[in-house]
């Protein structure tokens, strides 16, 4: 057969069957205009790596795919059995007739954004169930002579901690477990530069992300004998699954995007892709959110909330979000020991219930949002008293509590109905609620479900993610006008699979502005700032003007008690909200330019990023001085998006003073000279607003 080439943007992946029908991958890389197709030249297909190696085809490396048949056989020889191409979707069918098994290697191209989506579908017709031990979403082989990997390790309050390093010979892995908050161990995003480190605008880079809401394993394998070949193996973890005849096992989907010119074009592609194909209402700007958590924790009542609403409205917030602590009647949520599962307003704190709060918010000109953690239960709750069997647990094992709570078993249909029914009841009972923060604060231990037979308990790791997505999809479908924030002890869920039902993500509980700037910087390589909720808090007694300036480069909001603000702090917060309203279409929907990376050699404590809307000839540039430096120098910041033939009116503003410096600059001079950097003191910020 002839080779199958699947092209997207300026990259392509191609396959061809060898003499025995095994699928080989010829290449996965950028194509140059002079070399429009990937072909194998004079070499036979056998000279190329297996595309989706099954156990038996090659036992010298971990398989993409491994199973035990119903009769115990393990060897699998899938052969090319067909290729279908319809619209943007390609399906390469591999079959092992002896095992009555098909494996479809599936690819979808997104030509407008230059993104390739890849996954596998596995099905069999054996007389009994087979057990899958491995089933990768994708296992491409790259030609990577000097590979550099940028990965984002995580922990609570330390999400998106970037590590960039050469990939050593051997196996490097990015992995997470726990099924609920995998993003607290590792972000499912990476970038790989096959020819050595790339910059924002130079070098070849491949971005990858596994869209899965449970544990993941991404491995990067270089063999001693062939160090220029890099196998990237991407899939869920654990992957074991008992699969009945006739049922299709669909792996998580993997997303890829290539760039020949550094990470900036990748960012632009991925932002467009996430807005159009992942998040909800991706073309709409988001409100300024005022959250209560850091200000009150569990200590509030109607009167305090109403005072905060008045303060929030005065600051310029648009959405009042009531966080944890509002529910529980018999087991009131006075702290984190009780109440989860009992989603009735606590009458002691909120005598007029949720409608009393939505109407108060309305009086203050604010929309109203509410926190829920619907997948969890405290043993101290009416729900647990009535349904102790509804939790993930194993017989005769203690139910280990974390944050005094247990995980509800979403594999049970009654539990899924309970969760969707609860959200229906909350939203129908107080129609003024137009935003939900959906939280999840522990992982799964004792992974057992009464819903699954004894020989299928291992399926829980996969089924629980699918069941959760089913519930989230139902909520998004029934409540299309309710905005949803995705949260799991901070950024425990930041995957492109779960985000499909949401508008934004709470990136981290760490809101120290300098740390947050670095996290936002890294996350914004993949996620548009509109998705990245950033709230100004009193974390560490920080300077609020600086914290506002950092939060304004993402989806801006507050999480503090307005009653505690000094006059200067209040003025800075109000000014931030006013300016944010002016520039938020740029920040949330514009093209992002990361200009001076925090901690980059030669940055002298500076960091800068900008958002440009070329059609509107408008841009906003954020400058941050993270550490004192740059004293008396003539440092500048580049303005690479400037159009040569335009003259820009530039307003230089800060949040600490009403004064503005207004200048006019020709695009050509901005391009060649940049803009003069005015900051020297630690934790100070400046904004430039450009009109062409
Ligand atoms: C963890 C979240 O990350 C916080 O923002 C807050 O909502 C708490 N949970 C509430 O319990």
Q: pLDDT of 616-645, one tens digit each?
A: 999 999 999 999 987 666 799 999 999 999
| CA quadruple 655, 656, 657, 663: dihedral, nearest 10 | -50
Q: What is the mean pLDDT of residues 331-341?
A: 98
Q: Higher-confidence residue: 535 or 9?
A: 535
Q: Is the pLDDT of residue 242 over 70?
A: yes
Q: How much is the mean pLDDT over the chain? A: 97
313 shares a domain with 252? no
Question: Do residues 517 and 656 lie in contact, with contact meaning Cβ atoms separated by under 8 Å?
Answer: no
Is any ligand 1 atom within 6 A of the Cβ of residue 487?
Answer: yes
**For tokens 């569990």, what's the residue?**
298
Backbone angles phi and psi of 484, in degrees to 5: -125, 130
Reading the block at residue 597, the tokens are 């990376």
Which of the listed residues 252, 277, 302 is the one where a domain comes to its end? 277
The best mutation among 333, 339, 373, 487 to test binding of ligand 1, ranked by most ligand atoms within 8 Å of the C-beta, falls on 487
529 falls within a domain: no
The response to whether residue 184 sits with its C-beta less than 6 Å from ligand 1 reads no
CATH number at residue 657: 2.60.40.1180
- In the predicted structure, residue 43 carries a pLDDT above the cut 90: yes
Selection from 371, 372, 374, 373 nearest residue 320 by Cα: 371
Render pLDDT for 380-410 as a digit per residue (tens, 0 to 9).
999 999 999 999 999 999 999 999 999 999 9
DSSP 220: E
pLDDT in tens, 89-98: 999 999 999 9
Question: Cα separations (Å) of 590 from 57, 282, 620, 641?
Answer: 48, 12, 9, 12
Q: Is the CB of 677 under 6 A from ligand 1?
A: no
Query: 304 and 255, same structural domain?
Result: no
Q: How would you classify the pairing of strands 504-506 and 483-486?
A: parallel
555 lies in some domain:
no
Is 39 a member of any domain? no
677 touches 687 (CB < 8 A): no
Name the residue among 477, 485, 415, 488 with its Cα closest to residue 449. Answer: 415
Provide the 10 A C-beta neighbour count for residue 104. 21
Which pLDDT value is given to residue 629?
84
| Res 31: pLDDT | 86
Beta bridge partners, 488, equal 491
Helices in 23-82 by DSSP H: which ranges?
none
Q: What is the pLDDT of residue 34?
A: 76
Q: Is the pLDDT of residue 10 over 90?
A: no
Q: Is 441 in the pocket of ligand 1 (CB under 6 A)?
A: yes
Question: In sequence order, what are the residues at sequence separation of 6 or more whose Cβ sits closer than 8 angstroms to the Cβ of residue 466?
Answer: none
pLDDT tens per residue, range 656-691: 999 999 999 999 999 999 999 999 999 999 999 999
**Residue 588 · residue 529 · CB < 8 Å:** yes
Give yes or no for residue 438 CB within 6 A of ligand 1: no
Asked if 305 and 360 count as a contact pair (C-beta separation under 8 A), the reply is yes
- Give me the mean pLDDT over the 78-94 stretch: 97
Q: Is the pLDDT of residue 375 over 90?
A: yes
C-beta of 370 in contact with ligand 1 (< 6 A): no
Rounded mean pLDDT, 485-509: 98
Report the distance separating Cα 41 and Cα 198, nearest Å. Answer: 29
Integer angstrom CA distances of residue 99 from 22, 92, 123, 240, 489 = 15, 18, 10, 18, 44
* Ligand 1 centroid from CA 536, angstroms: 15
Residues 121 and 72 in one domain: yes
User: Domain boundary residue among 277, 302, 320?
Assistant: 277
Distance 446 CA to ligand 1 centre (A): 24
On whether both 601 and 494 belong to a single domain, the answer is: no
- Domain-embedded: residue 370: yes
DSSP string, 440-487: ------S---TTS-GGGGGGHHHHHHHHHHHHHHHHHHH-TTSEEEE-
Q: Is position 37 within any domain?
A: no
Confidence of residue 37 (pLDDT cuts 50, 70, 90): confident
pLDDT at residue number 631: 64
Q: Ligand 1 within 6 A of 340 CB?
A: no
521 lines ligand 1 (CB under 6 A): no
pLDDT at residue 165, rounded to an integer:
98
Tens digit of each residue's pLDDT (9 = 90 or more) over 252-290: 999 999 999 999 999 999 999 999 999 999 999 999 999
Q: Which atom of ligand 1 is nearest to the CA of 336?
A: 11
Query: Are both 205 and 296 inside the same structural domain?
Result: no
Average pLDDT over residues 601-615: 95
State which H helix or E strand residue 255 sits in: strand 253-259
- Establish whether the linkage from the previous residue to 276 is cis, with ω within 30° of 0: no
Report in angstroms the alpha-carbon separations of 394 from 176, 233, 240, 452, 656: 22, 32, 18, 11, 57
Q: What spacing in Å lies between the alpha carbon of 191 and ligand 1's midpoint?
A: 29
Cβ-contact 349, 304 below 8 angstroms: no
Quote helix, strand, coil % in the chain, to nearest 5. 25, 35, 40
CA separation for the pair 110, 114 (Å, rounded): 6
Domain harbouring 424, CATH code: 3.20.20.70
Q: Is 506 in the pocket of ligand 1 (CB under 6 A)?
A: yes
Rounded distance between C-alpha atoms, residue 622 and residue 640, angstroms: 14
Q: Is the CB of 491 under 6 A from ligand 1?
A: no
Class of residue 167 by CB neighbours under 10 A (exposed 0-12, middle 13-18, buried 19+): buried
Question: For atom 10 of ligand 1, which residue has the closest CA?
Answer: 324
At 256, list the tokens. 């890829």
Give domain status of residue 12, yes or no.
no
Residue 467: how many other CB atoms lie within 10 Å: 22
Task: Give me the sign of the Cα torsion angle 98, 99, 102, 105.
Answer: negative
Q: What angle do CA 398, 402, 403 make, to 5 degrees?
A: 135
Q: Give the residue from 246, 277, 308 where a domain finishes.
A: 277
Beta carbons of 358 and 394 less than 8 angstroms apart: no
Instruction: Report the nearest-CA residue for atom 2 of ligand 1.
Output: 489
Q: What is the pLDDT of residues 214-240, one digit of tens each?
A: 999 999 999 999 999 999 999 999 999
- In angstroms, how far apart are the furthest CA atoms of the chain? 80
Say which range, 7-16, 173-182, 200-209, 462-471, has the weakest mean pLDDT.
7-16
Q: Using DSSP, state whether 518 is helix, strand or coil.
A: helix
Other CB atoms within 10 A of residue 388 CB:
13
Residues facing 166 on adjacent strands: 148
Q: Are 219 and 180 in contact (CB under 8 A)?
A: no
Instruction: Round to whole Å and give the CA distance between 689 and 23.
Output: 54
Q: Where are the alpha helices (DSSP H) in 72-223?
A: none
Domain that holds residue 412: 289-509
Query: Domain with 146 in it: what CATH number?
Result: 2.70.98.60
Residue 199, Cβ density class (10 Å: 0-12 exposed, 13-18 middle, ≥19 buried): middle
Work out the number of other CB atoms within 10 angstroms of the CB of residue 128.
11
Residue 359 CA to residue 355 CA, distance in Å, equals 6
Q: Do 105 and 144 share a domain, yes or no? A: yes
Tens digit of each residue's pLDDT (9 = 90 or more) over 546-562:
999 999 999 999 999 99
Kindly state whether residues 248 and 326 are assigned to the same domain: no
Digit-coded pLDDT (tens) for 165-202:
999 999 999 999 999 999 999 999 999 999 999 999 99
Shared domain check, 316 and 234: no
| Residue 490 CA, closest ligand 1 atom number | 3
Decide if 29 is inside a domain.
no
Q: Please indicate, yes or no, whether residues 327 and 471 belong to a single structural domain of this protein.
A: yes
Q: Is the pLDDT of residue 339 over 80?
A: yes
Number of domains in the chain: 3
- The reply to whether 27 falls in a domain is no
Residues contacting residue 633 through CB under 8 Å, at least 6 positions apart: 604, 677
Report whether residue 489 contacts ligand 1, using a CB cutoff of 6 Å: yes
Interval 22-47 mean pLDDT = 90
Among 96, 90, 141, 140, CA closest to 122: 96
The pLDDT, as a whole number, for residue 633 is 67
Query: What per-residue confidence (pLDDT) applies to 50?
Result: 96
- Find the mean pLDDT for residues 77-86: 97
Same domain, 329 and 230: no
Arithmetic mean of pLDDT, 134-144: 97
Residue 511, pLDDT above cutoff 90 = yes
pLDDT at position 632: 61
Is the pLDDT at 28 greater than 70? The verdict is: yes
Residues 636 and 685 in one domain: yes
The answer on 245 and 201 residing in a single domain is yes
Looking at residue 1, its pLDDT comes to 63
Annotate 93-123 with DSSP letters as a single string.
EEEEGGGTEEEEEEEEEETTTTEEEEEEEEE
State the distance from the centre of ligand 1 to the C-alpha of 407, rounded, in angstroms: 16
């Amino acid at each position: 057969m002839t080779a199958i080439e699947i092209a997207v943007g300026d990259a392509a992946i191609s396959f061809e069957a060898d003499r025995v029908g095994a699928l080989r991958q010829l290449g996965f890389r950028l194509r140059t205009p002079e070399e429009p197709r990937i072909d194998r030249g004079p070499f036979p297909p056998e000279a190329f790596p297996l595309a989706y190696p099954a156990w038996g085809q090659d036992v010298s490396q971990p398989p993409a795919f491994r199973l035990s048949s119903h009769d115990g056989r393990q060897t699998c020889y899938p052969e090319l059995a067909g290729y279908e191409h319809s619209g943007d979707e390609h399906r390469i069918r591999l079959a092992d007739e002896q095992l009555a098994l098909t494996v479809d290697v599936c690819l979808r191209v997104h030509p407008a954004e230059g993104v390739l989506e890849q996954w596998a579908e596995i099905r069999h017709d054996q007389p009994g169930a087979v057990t899958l031990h491995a089933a990768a979403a994708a296992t491409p082989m790259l030609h990577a002579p000097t590979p550099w990997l940028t990965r984002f390790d995580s922990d609570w309050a330390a999400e998106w901690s970037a590590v960039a390093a050469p990939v050593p010979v051997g196996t490097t892995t990015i992995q997470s477990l726990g099924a609920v908050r995998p993003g607290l161990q590792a972000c499912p995003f990476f970038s790989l530069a096959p020819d050595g480190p790339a910059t924002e605008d130079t070098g070849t880079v491949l971005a990858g992300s596994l869209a899965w809401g449970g544990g993941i394993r991404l491995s990067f394998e270089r063999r001693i004998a062939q160090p220029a070949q890099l196998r990237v193996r991407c899939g869920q973890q654990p992957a074991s699954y008992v699969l009945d005849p006739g049922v299709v096992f669909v792996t998580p989907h993997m997303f890829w995007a290539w760039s020949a010119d550094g990470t900036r074009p990748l960012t632009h592609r991925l932002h467009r892709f996430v807005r159009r194909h992942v998040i909800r209402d991706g073309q709409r700007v988001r409100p300024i959110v005022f959250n209560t958590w850091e200000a009150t924790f569990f200590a509030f009542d109607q009167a305090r909330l109403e005072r905060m609403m008045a303060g929030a409205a005065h600051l310029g917030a648009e959405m009042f979000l009531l966080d944890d602590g509002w529910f529980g009647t018999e087991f009131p949520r006075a702290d984190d020991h009780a109440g989860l599962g009992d989603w009735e307003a606590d009458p002691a704190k909120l005598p007029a219930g949720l409608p009393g709060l939505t109407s108060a918010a309305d009086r203050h000109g604010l929309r109203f949002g509410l926190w829920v953690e619907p997948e969890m239960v405290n043993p101290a709750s009416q729900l647990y008293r009535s349904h102790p069997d509804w939790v993930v647990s194993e017989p005769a094992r203690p139910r280990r509590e974390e944050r005094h709570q247990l995980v509800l078993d979403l594999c049970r249909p009654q539990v899924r109905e309970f969760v969707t029914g609860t959200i229906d009841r909350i939203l129908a009972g107080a129609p003024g609620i137009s935003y939900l923060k959906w939280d999840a604060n522990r992982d799964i231990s004792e992974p057992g479900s009464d819903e699954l037979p004894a020989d299928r308990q291992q399926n829980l790791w996969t089924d629980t993610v699918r069941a959760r997505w089913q519930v989230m999809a139902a909520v998004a479908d029934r409540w299309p006008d309710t905005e949803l924030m995705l949260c799991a002890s901070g950024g425990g869920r930041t995957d492109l699979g779960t985000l499909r039902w949401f508008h934004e993500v709470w990136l981290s509980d760490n809101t120290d502005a300098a740390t947050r700037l670095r996290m936002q910087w890294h996350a914004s390589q993949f996620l548009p700032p509109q998705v990245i909720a950033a709230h100004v808090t009193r974390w560490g007694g920080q300077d609020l003007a600086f914290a506002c300036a950092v939060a304004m480069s993402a989806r801006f909001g507050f999480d503090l008690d307005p009653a505690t603000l000094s006059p200067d702090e209040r003025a800075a917060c109000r000014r931030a909200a006013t300016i944010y309203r002016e520039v938020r279409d740029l920040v949330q929907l514009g093209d992002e330019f990361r200009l001076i990376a925090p901690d980059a050699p030669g940055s002298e404590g500076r960091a800068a990023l900008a958002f440009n809307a070329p059609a509107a000839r408008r841009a906003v540039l954020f400058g941050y001085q993270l550490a004192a430096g740059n004293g008396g120098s003539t440092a500048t910041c580049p303005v690479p998006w400037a159009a040569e033939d335009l003259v820009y009116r530039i307003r230089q503003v800060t949040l600490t003073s009403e004064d503005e410096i207004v200048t006019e600059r020709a695009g050509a001079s901005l391009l060649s000279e940049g803009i003069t950097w005015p900051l020297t003191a630690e934790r100070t910020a400046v904004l430039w607003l450009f009109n062409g």
